[in-house]
Amino acid sequence: MFKDPVSRRTRKMPSFIAMDVLESAHALERAGRHIVHLEVGEPDFDTPEPVRLAAAKALESGQTHYTHSLGIHDLRAAVSVHYRARYGVDVDPERVIITSGSSPALFMTFAALLNPGEEVVLSNPHYASYPAMIEFTGGRPVYVPVREEEAFQFVPEEITPFITKKTKAILINSPANPTGTLLSRERHEKVARIAEGAGAFVVSDEIYHGLVYEGEKEHTILEFTDRAFVINGFSKLYAMTGWRLGYIIAPPEFVRPIQKMSQNFYICANSFVQAAGIAALFETGDHVAQMVKTYAARRVYMIKRLEEMGFKFRCHPTGAFYVFVNAAHLNPDCYKLAFDILEKAGVGCTPGIDFGSGGEGYIRFTYANSIENIKEGMDRLKIYVQSLGKIGA
């Protein structure tokens, strides 16, 4: 008998605290509490009608079978057209791999890229699941501290001391989760040069592209280097979280290795969902514009309310749909603070520690919820802050 039958790599994997908060919130709801959900970054909009109609048409026409393991050619070509139209970059459809969401895309990218002990440089704070994926596939995350006054983004010159002979990739995420901030064009270019100088790749998580409200627009890493993996998908911009559709744009030598993983582990993305993805790229412009306009108004409202309560920002988020705010004046232990806010105020929020040690003291709120719910959540939070005697601190 094994002393512990559970594998060490799953045993040591940390939980995704945002989901722990959500599940605790659900438990409170089952007990009769009303909770305002500002913890999980999921669009509250229905999927646009053209996408739903395309899926229904595909189902009616019998598109319910396996597809090519790399994805249907029409969707791969559509991604290529999209990147050409939006960013002015040429992407061979043969480099596009359709996946069941961007999370499997990230996982397969790291699995194809990393040998045991090889390193991925990433920011601290960062999206919560990056380290788990890197470590599960045998790699080692190397954390570069980033600061709020620099919009929580890499200062390229500060990356260099963390580059070693084992550096295989630099990971970027712009617009970023949890911070809602963007990496500038100049910094994209410098990160690409640092990676090329180290013989490494850039892994660019572009899932929040299109969700930018002011200032500089987003850039794809492919504007600056071909030694890169682009991770993107349909969940956020097109309100398609439950559809599970994403893609990788990979260097040519990695396409076949990733394809073999897809064949063995996933077979392919859902066939009728892939048909719907084409409609998302080409037929939802007005729907997306309206969602972005709505997010923009919610963002302004949430920031204003938080500042009125005494929360201070060194930079405002300009993308994605998150506000990452320093709450150390309420409680320096943001984990305890988040669960206290949930219990006492009935507002779900995510502690910054979920996103690395650099997130300690911060709380993430999402405005991917209705303005009515955001108002209610901010009203409740104000009462909670007043109860601590911290308004205006």
The CATH architecture annotation of domain 50-283 reads 3-Layer(aba) Sandwich (3.40)
Are the CB atoms for 232 and 30 separated by under 8 Å?
Answer: no
Per-residue pLDDT of the chain (393 residues), as tens digits, is: 788 889 888 888 888 999 999 999 999 999 999 999 999 989 999 999 999 999 999 999 999 999 999 999 999 999 999 999 999 999 999 999 999 999 999 999 999 999 999 999 999 999 999 999 999 999 999 999 999 999 999 999 999 999 999 999 999 999 999 999 999 999 999 999 999 999 999 999 999 999 999 998 999 999 999 999 999 999 999 999 999 999 999 999 999 999 999 999 999 999 999 999 999 999 999 999 999 999 999 999 999 999 999 999 999 999 999 999 999 999 999 999 999 999 999 999 999 999 999 999 999 999 999 999 999 999 999 999 999 987 654
> CATH fold of 8-46+286-387, please?
Aspartate Aminotransferase, domain 1 (3.90.1150)
Q: Where are the domains of the chain?
A: 8-46+286-387, 50-283
For the record, the structure tokens of 317 come out as 């988020």
pLDDT digits (tens, 9 = 90+) for 168-199: 999 999 999 999 999 999 999 999 999 999 99
Q: Alpha carbon 192 to chain centroid distance?
A: 20
Task: Please give the DSSP secondary-structure letter assigned to residue 173.
Answer: E
pLDDT at 13: 85
How far apart CA 52 and CA 234 sit, in angstroms, is 13
Among candidate residues 368, 323, 332, 371, the one with its CA nearest the CA of residue 353: 332
pTM for this structure? 0.94
Are the CB atoms for 208 and 175 separated by under 8 Å?
Answer: yes
From the number of C-beta atoms within 10 Å of its C-beta (0-12, 13-18, 19+), residue 31 rates as exposed
